[in-house]
Amino acid sequence: MTKLEGAALTAALAQVPAWTFDAQRHAIRRALRLADFNAAFGLMTRVALEAERRNHHPEWSNVYDRVDIVLTTHDAGGLTERDIALARFIDAAAAALGARDA
Ligand SMILES: C[C@H](O)[C@H](O)[C@H]1CNC2=NC(N)=NC(=O)C2=N1
């Protein structure tokens, strides 16, 4: 898996407009607010199971109804297509649970 650079990085980021690129980490970030803790943990459960299936895991934190997620590929030293694909899964799960951007 190769770190995304240049035009490929630009094209990849265009696929995940809800996410913010962190140039320092070469990662993408999204902060989500759910209805309550139960919903937030439900999102984390869905994502955790999918992350395990993909062997590609988020860096994240949760405070009550808020979930902060960072995606980057440690083995590649930056953002790869695996992060983009997982971000799109997270976007779909978040939408299904009625999440808003924090
Ligand atoms: C051995 C290595 O930890 C595994 O191949 C997986 C586990 N989950 C992972 N998750 C992320 N985000 N990046 C990785 O490089 C990664 N590697």
| Domain range for 31 | 20-101
Structural domain includes residue 35: yes
What is the distance between the alpha carbons of residues 95 and 21, in angstroms, rounded to a whole number?
Answer: 20
pTM of the model: 0.97
Per the structure, the count of domains in the chain is 1
What is the distance between the alpha carbons of residues 29 and 67, in angstroms, rounded to a whole number?
Answer: 11
CATH number for position 40 = 3.30.1360.20
Q: What is the Å distance from ligand 1's center to 14 Cα?
A: 24
pLDDT tens digits, one per residue of 49-74 = 999 999 999 999 999 999 999 999 99
User: Among 49, 54, 57, which is best to mutate for testing ligand 1, by the most ligand atoms less than 8 A from CB?
Assistant: 57
**Average pLDDT over the chain, rounded to an integer:** 98
ipTM of this predicted structure = 0.94
- The predicted structure's pLDDT at residue 66: 98
Structural domain includes residue 68: yes
User: Among 54, 73, 75, which is best to mutate for testing ligand 1, by the most ligand atoms less than 8 A from CB?
Assistant: 75
